[in-house]
Each structure stands twice: as C-alpha cells, then as structure tokens.
Structure 1
Amino acid sequence: MIKISAAALLSLSSVSSTWAAETTCRGMGKQVIDSDLRFSLTHSQIPGELAISTHKMRVAGTQYKLESTSQAKGFLALLYSGQLTQKSEGLVDAQLGLTPLYYAEQRGKKPVAESMLNAETQQVLFKRNGESAPYEKGLQDRISMIYQIAARLRCNADLKTGETLPMRVMSTGRVGNEVFVLKKTEDLTLDLGKGERRVSTLQFETKPEDAGDEVVRIWYAKDLNWQPAKIEIQDADGKALTQTLIGTGT
C-alpha cells in the first residue's frame, strides 16, 4: 500500500466531510469489499480468446489496493510480450467509497506510467508528461471507477433507466469526464467453471464527450453481489474489446 502522512490524511478527511453532504448514497465505504475476479478477453475483429484478465481488490482498514492484470495468450502473446497491468491505491472513505491517491499502468516492457496525489498541494501529478491538475472531490481512475459503481449499487441499486452516474476520472496523463448512463436491464449467460449460469444485470454505458472517444459499457450482476460481469470498450470505429467474467474467488 502507498504511504501518506498524518497531515495528508487529515487534509483529505476534512475535504471528504464536505463531500458527504453531496453524495447520493451515503455509507458506501462499507460496500467496498475484497474481490477476486477472472475474465476472458476477446476482440470483435480477432477470433478466439486473446487473454485472461484478473481483478483483485483488497481492503485493509481505511485503505485499499486494486490491481488488474491481463496476460496475453496465443498469437497475441507473440505480438505483445508481457502483460497489461493497472494499479489503483488509496483510501476507503466511509461515506463516499473509493478515494484513489495513486494510479499506474504498465504495458509489456514499457515504463510504468503513474499518476498520484500530492496531498499537501492538492494536485494530481502525471509523471508521464510532467503535468498536473487540481485534485477534485470524488475523483476516480480508469480501474477504480468500475468498482466505485459496484459499491454504489450495493449501497442502493434503486436506479431507473436513463439515470446517470457522472465521474471525474484520472488517467495517466489527464483528468476527464465519464458519465455512465443506466441503459437497460439484461440477462447474461456466464460460465463460471461450474456450467452455464444466467444472471440478471444492469448495463451502464458512457456518453462520449467527443466524436473520437471510446465508449465503455459495464454489466453489473445483481446475482453476484453487483460485481462486474462484463466490461466492453468500443472505439470510434466500432471495434470492441470485451472482458467476460469466467470465475470468482481465489
């Protein structure tokens, strides 16, 4: 876990207390839970399974650590050595849930790209390009946003089609907007290693800010304690990379 000073914790706690009045679902901290999920990764333009992705969440007191690792298989492994890793670390706010302080991506043997909070200056630092941005209340990152919505649904899943969950999200180079819209309820058939199982899901989809932006779709399974059952990223050309849940637990 990352280390932050007592002064920084006090600073974040004072900011968090103002957030609580604005959140639409209080007490989300209790809904952030340890998770071990395995996904099969496929691409709309390439036949077969390309990789296995694992997501692991660990909560220790008021801190959390979340890691996603995708290991390429077959032909893809010949093209892309190593693996894609995303890491998110930070605090679990009692009222608001996940509060990321550090986010990192590493693709194969390329250098790690990191973003982190300087709590004293209240700035997010992007080490890849040397730039910074003001830290904002409710800020998420590219992996924590998935599990923040899961915690939100465990806290209160009484949402109607068309309702939105807006977020400010940090990548490794900037802070941007992600507005998740509840599109529909849908039954999915999953194979979690014990035969096929049909689960009821809520499907969320992001609203692109610009014409070239990716669209993220996430299906959350009510029957699996609102864990993500399917994650799809579609580019502006319609090509989609999809993670489908194939296992839970260690």
Structure 2
Amino acid sequence: MPPPADAQRPAPDAPGTVSAAPSDAGPPLLQMPGRYRVRLPAPVQLTYDLVRQPAGGVPAPAGPMRLTWRTNGDRYVLDLDGVLGRLHSEGASGDAGIAPRLAREDGDAGPLLTEFDADGHRVLFRATGAESPDNVGIQDRASVLMQLVGIGLAEPDQVRDTLDVVVAGARDLRIARFKVLGQEDVATGIGTLAAWHLTELAAPGMARLDIWLAPERNWLPVRLRVEDAGGSATQTLSALDAAPALP
C-alpha cells in the first residue's frame, strides 16, 4: 500500500518536514523528512562465508565474517567484519531512521573515528581534524546497510529505482546512490532466498558495493560484494541467529 500523500517522496533535493508514522505492531515507523519511511530491524547476528577473487584469478575462501546488530528500539550498536572492513557504529533512532553518533573503522594504522554532533549539526572527522555540516538521514559506512534494511521493512515499495543516502566515511561524506536491479535467487547456508539486488553507482575508479536484501528474512543483507580493479570480495550468509537486545 503506498504511503499517504503527505509522505510521498519528492525529488532527492526537495525539502521535507519531520514526522513520525505510527505503527500498530513492532518498532515505530520513522519518517526521513521528504525521503523514506524506516523501521528499525530487530536484534540479529548474521554469519557469512567470505570468498576473495583477484582480477583474472581463482576464487578462494577467506573465512567467516559477521554482522551483529543490537538495539532496544532507542539505541543501537552495530559491529561488522567483512568486505567493508572492520566497522563499528553506535547511536540512536530518530525521525530519519538510524542516527549514528560514533563510527569507527579499524585498520592496520589504528582506529579512525567519525563523530556525529546532532546538537551542532555537524560531522567531525577525527582522522583529519576536518568537519562538515550533517545531512538529514546521514549514515556511516556500517549503519547504511541497516538503514537500507529498515527502508525495506517499513515500506517495500520504497525499494525501487534508486535509493540515495548520505554516508560519512573516515575523512569525508558523500551521497551513496544505490540502483535497484531486480530480484535474484541467492544460495545461502539457510537455503535459496529471493533477494533484491542493489548496486552502488560508484564513480570511475572507485570500489563498488553490491547488496542483496531478502524480504523473507526481514530484508536482511544475505550477500555483500565489493568489487574494484583488483578483483572482488563476496560474503554470503551462512547462518542467521537472534542477538541479545541492548538493555
């Protein structure tokens, strides 16, 4: 069923008003001003099998990876180890869906921190000392995955054409635009699942992220793939378990 007229999505740059859409069951629907409805996913842990394939080379297993999402409906903690690296995100929920407060990327040179100052309406990049104005619905590199899940949970008809999300990395922010390619069957460790395939419209020379979201598994990401000139890394769901809620 389409959203009410006052919640229809205008063009990406159009302004919107903050509102909260009520729900009779489950977590509340959260309305990104002028953009998407979002429902926070329930706590969950996903385990993946990772396969790396160098350009022109042979695919090789690279061990298990995990995504752990914990929430109490107001706050969340997200830990991700996989094709995007070792990422941590924590924050709250808001009118625009997931609202990160702190993001961390763990690398060989140490952790890179990004802070989201909601009161000051700015993003602080601790790796460079720079800052930038924030944006409605802004995400970090980990939380954007669960924001896409929440968009599908709240209103499946939103997952069409393209989805635009502002994403803050360790040094800057950008608009991540995901094109919806259609449904595909994905063979996983818990069976073959029908999933919507989203591909990031990355700039030339940049790595591209592909995501497969499975509606029959609460729109969770059952496959992730990062591809660049050096090859690809793909993680596919092998197990799905409940995670403890935050206190």
TM-score (norm 1): 0.78
The residue that corresponds to 2:107 in the other structure is 107
Which SS does the other structure have where 2:146 is aligned? helix
CA distance in 2, matches of 1:16, 1:159: 18
Q: Structure 1 residues 42 and 202, CA, compared in 2 at 3 Å: closer, same or farther?
A: same
Q: 1:183 Cα deviation (Å)? A: 0.6
Which SS does the other structure have where 2:68 is aligned? strand
Matches within 5 A, 1:214-233: 214-233=207-226
Render the CA deviation track for 1:143-171: whole Å, top value 9, x for unaligned: 1111111111111112575x110011001
Matches within 5 A, 1:12-161: 17=18, 20-25=32-37, 28-29=38-39, 31-45=40-54, 47-70=59-82, 84-93=85-94, 95-108=95-108, 110-159=109-158
Render the CA deviation track for 1:65-109: whole Å, top value 9, x for unaligned: 1011359xxxxxxxxxxxx5210111112x43211111101124x
Equivalent pair of 1:216/1:231 in contact (CA under 8 Å): yes
Unaligned runs of 5+ in 1: 1-14, 72-83
Which SS does the other structure have where 1:129 is aligned? coil
Matched, 1:244 2:236: yes
The residue that corresponds to 1:184 in the other structure is 182
Unaligned runs of 5+ in 2: 1-15, 20-30, 243-247
Render the CA deviation track for 1:11-62: whole Å, top value 9, x for unaligned: xxxx99377441332xx24x33211000111112254211321111111241
Equivalent pair of 1:86/1:103 in contact (CA under 8 Å): yes
CA distance in 2, matches of 1:219, 1:70: 15
Please tell me the residue identity of whatever aligns with 1:103: A
Give percent identity, aligned residues only: 21
Report the aligned-residue RMSD: 2.2
CA distance in 2, matches of 1:61, 1:159: 22
Equivalent pair of 1:51/1:70 in contact (CA under 8 Å): no
TM-score (norm 2): 0.79
Matched, 1:234 2:233: no
The residue that corresponds to 2:204 in the other structure is 211
CA distance in 1, matches of 2:73, 2:182: 35
Q: Structure 1 residues 183 and 125, CA, compared in 2 at 3 Å: closer, same or farther?
A: same
Please tell me the residue identity of whatever aligns with 1:153: G
Equivalent pair of 1:126/1:132 in contact (CA under 8 Å): yes
Matched, 1:167 2:165: yes
